Every structure is written in C-alpha cells, then in structure tokens.
Structure 1
C-alpha cells in the first residue's frame, strides 16, 4: 500500500519473498506474542500465590500487570493511553518500593542463594514486573526496534526457564516453607 502512510520509513516491506524479522509487521507480531507470553506468566504467578500466607497482596501485585499486558498484546498502542500509563507507572513505583525493601531484607538476613529465600523470589517477581512495564512504557511512540524486541524475547522466556530449573532442582525446594513447595 504505497502512499497510504502506513509503512514505516526504513523498514523493509513484508512480502512472501522477503519475510524477515526486520519487517515492521513481524516485529509487531513478535512484540504482541511476547506480551501475551508475559500475560500468561503474570497470570500463572498470580495463580500460584493461592497457598501463600499473604496471597491477596501477591495475587493483586501480579494480576495488575497481567491485565495491563493483556491489553498491550491485544492493542499495542494502548500504552499511549493516559489511564494505562498512570496504572503502569503507579504499579511500577509500588513494585520498586517493594523491591528496595526486599533487597534490604535479603542483604541483611540472607546467607544463601536468593532463590532459596522467599524474599528473593518475591524480589525477582517485582523486578520482572517493573522491568516489563518499563519496556512497554513508550512502545506506542515508535516502531518496535530490534534491541527492544531482543530484550522482550529474552525477558518473556526467562521466567519459564527459571520455573523449569526450580522444578527440576528438588534440592533447592527442600529448604522452602511448606506453602512454597506446592507452587509448581
């Protein structure tokens, strides 16, 4: 559709013969897929909190970004909407404060790998939330670049690899509190 103004400058046209990752439509498609994967991760993270002593708080902490990211996977331009930005920024700020608090707890009271500690796993979740919302923050302003896409693919797959690692490493789970042993 030449002349329609819908093409991105500098981006190769998508066609049957030149169907590359550099194509704007393919980058957009991958961006939406990464967001849908993160929606799945945040939803699963909220679900596994059901047996946690402070489940209500953690379910809300994970469901807010799950819903925000679901909207991004459906309509990527939503990140430009004032309500989306307000909710994302507010939630990121709350997660950042929580991450600072948990970092202090871990620094002063931890002698093991942080994934062995409940606070370490909680900190990881808060950092993933803040990082992903930050990655989405200005995605409406420009085409999804290669660097953002590589980061998105890496970050969207990492939590699942960590969960697989934790599931396989039974020794790691032996020191966990009882409510954490049935997480996966």
Structure 2
C-alpha cells in the first residue's frame, strides 16, 4: 500500500485523472460528426466531467451525486458494452479496432474501467500501488490505441466517411 501522505502518489493519481478527463473530452469532441453524435458526446462528456472532479478532489467520489451519476453511467455503459460484444462476436469480420462497433465497445470498456477505478477514491484518495499501476495502464491504453488507429493506413481505408473527417 502506498502511504496516503506520499506526495508523488497523490500527484500521479491527479495526473492520471487529468489525462483521462482530457481523453474523454477529446473523445466527446470527435463524435460531433458521427450520425448519432448526440448520444456519443454525452457518453464521453459525463466521464470527462466526473474524472475532472476526481482530479481536483479525489474525495468527491464519496459525494452522493457523484456516486449516483457514476454508478448509473457505468451500469449503462457496461450493459451497452455487453450488447456490442455479443453483436461483435456474431458479426465481426475484422479485428476489434477495424469495426466501428469494436471501437465503440472499446470506448465503453475504457469508461467502465476508469469509473470503476475512480469509485474508491473517497476511501483512499491516493490508492495503493496496484490501483496506481492500473491507472497508468488504463491511461496509456486509449492514447496508444488512438495513435495506432490514426497512423494505420490500412485501418483508415475501412472507416465510414464520418470517421475520416475526425481529428
């Protein structure tokens, strides 16, 4: 367990939250050209705000409103992810990042994983070594995936037209 007074751990947890809030905000922004943009912007904007709040004050996760919004949003994302995973298993023709439903599924899993990790901030605002290690892995995954997706020319050739005009 990392001592709660470790300033490096507190700073690392806040930095992870800042990066994830930025990722969720960027993900919401690039959805604006999607045919169902109003849904996906909200799906990413909610965790962007919740994560930003955790970055400012990790104890906010003990607040009833934060807990409620987070729990409901995470539940919806998990149920939706299960539905997409089922659809993906039945109809997939490419790997997960080559299919739009696969990328949507990945986003929902990232949201669910991050919100789940944030939920314990009120009990231990810094987290233990395992929580911090998981936070770093979860933070790195979407950024590395995004770089892969946007630099892979073969992958881009199969994108629907609304994805080709995103960042």
TM-score with structure 1 setting the length: 0.86
Corresponding residue for 2:99? 117
Residues 100-122 of structure 1: CA deviation (Å, up to 9, x unaligned): 11011101111211111100000
Corresponding residue for 2:134? 151
List structure 1 segments (4+ residues) > 6 angstroms apart after TM superposition: none
Does 2:17 align with 1:35? yes
Corresponding residue for 1:84? 66
- CA distance, structure 2, for counterparts of residue 79 and residue 28 of structure 1: 15
Task: Tell me which of 161, 171, 176 is aligned to 2:154.
Answer: 171
Q: How many residues align?
A: 166
Residues 51-95 of structure 1: CA deviation (Å, up to 9, x unaligned): 100000000000000000000000111011111010000000000
Residues 35-54 of structure 1: CA deviation (Å, up to 9, x unaligned): 00000000000000011000
- CA distance, structure 1, for counterparts of residue 3 and residue 98 of structure 2: 45
What is the RMSD of the two structures over their aligned residues, measured on CA atoms? 1.6
* More helix, by proportion: 2
Residues 145-174 of structure 1: CA deviation (Å, up to 9, x unaligned): 111001101111211111111111111110
Specify the SS of the correspondent of 2:166: coil
The correspondence of residues 6-85 of structure 1 with structure 2, limited to 5 A, is 11=3, 24-85=6-67
- CA distance, structure 1, for counterparts of residue 16 and residue 149 of structure 2: 22
**Residues 104, 10 of structure 1: alpha-carbon distance in 2 compared, 3 angstrom cutoff:** closer
Q: Which has the larger radius of gyration?
A: 1
